[in-house]
């Protein structure tokens, strides 16, 4: 058990200062790791580029999956998706960090899957540097602890499913009930989410699943984090 006596920082986002992506050229090859996209990346400013993004997919019946995509010279990024079940109401979220380590790029789009063919979803990357302010109040809190995190199996063929299971506790049961946040290869899944998930292997690669459990205390380091790795293999 970890006990922390903290000064809670209740941070709130105060907005983004705009930094729209600077387009170098109009053309880009549709890409993810399996599509072989080629290019030097999207140039935002002299010396600052974005060359790769990660994406998450949320769909009907609790479907979750993820992958990565090479970023070309255009802010309009085609993401080629395969091995998705037929259904409506899918949500694609794309995130990327620029080479300066500060600028973040985001995009999202809804789409449907009508047949077994690959789906190409084009999203527009918007890039900015986050800013914010904070207010400070004093409190004493015992931070939550993740007791276990597992991925089974840790190597699965395309089309298979990885079961993500976890358990956590909060000794003082406050200041709020536990909440669970998941990220896949650094890309956060939109919540609220349960402590257990089923991840569908729709693209080959190694996936790092990170769970963050919070009791509502936003002090840096109070939320507990744990990661586990699983691999999706080509048959």
The first and second tokens of residue 160, run together, are 């298979």
**What is the CATH architecture assignment of 142-233?**
Sandwich (2.60)
Q: In what order do the strands lie in the sheet with 187-188?
A: 155-157, 224-233, 205-214, 179-184, 187-188
Rounded distance, CA 97 to CA 109, Å?
A: 19
| pLDDT at res. 234 | 86
pTM for this one?
0.66
Name residues whose C-beta falls within 8 Å of residue 214's C-beta, 6 or more positions apart in sequence. Answer: 144, 178, 179, 181, 222, 223
Rounded distance, CA 185 to CA 193, Å?
A: 17
pLDDT band with cut points at 50, 70 and 90 for residue 5: very low
pLDDT of 168 above 70: yes
**CB of 123 within 8 A of CB of 94?**
yes
pLDDT tens-place string over residues 59-96: 998 899 999 999 999 999 999 999 999 999 999 999 99
Q: What residues does each domain of the chain span? A: 14-132, 142-233
Name residues whose C-beta falls within 8 Å of residue 6's C-beta, 6 or more positions apart in sequence. Answer: 139, 140, 141, 143, 217, 219, 222
Question: Cis (ω within 30 of 0) for the bond into 192?
Answer: yes
């Amino acid at each position: 058990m970890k006990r922390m006596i903290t000064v809670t920082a209740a941070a709130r986002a105060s907005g983004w200062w705009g930094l729209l992506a600077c387009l170098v050229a109009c053309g880009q090859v549709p890409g993810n790791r399996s599509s072989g996209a080629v290019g030097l990346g999207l140039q935002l400013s002299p010396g600052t580029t974005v060359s790769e993004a990660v994406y998450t997919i949320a769909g009907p019946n609790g479907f979750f999956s993820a992958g990565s995509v090479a970023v070309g010279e255009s802010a309009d990024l085609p993401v080629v998706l395969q091995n998705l079940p037929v259904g409506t109401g899918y949500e694609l979220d794309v995130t990327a960090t620029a080479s300066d380590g500060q600028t973040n790029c985001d995009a999202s789009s809804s789409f449907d899957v009508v047949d077994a063919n690959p789906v190409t979803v084009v999203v527009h990357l918007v890039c900015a540097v986050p800013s914010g302010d904070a207010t400070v109040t004093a409190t004493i809190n015992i931070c939550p602890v993740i007791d276990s995190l597992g991925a089974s199996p840790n190597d699965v063929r395309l089309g298979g499913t990885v079961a993500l299971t976890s358990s956590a506790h909060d000794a003082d049961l406050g200041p709020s009930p536990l909440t669970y946040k998941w990220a896949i290869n650094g890309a956060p899944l939109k919540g609220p989410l349960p402590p257990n998930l089923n991840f569908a292997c729709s693209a080959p690669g190694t996936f790092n699943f990170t769970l963050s459990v919070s009791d509502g205390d936003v002090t840096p380091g109070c939320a507990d984090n744990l990661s586990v790795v699983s691999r999706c293999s080509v048959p």
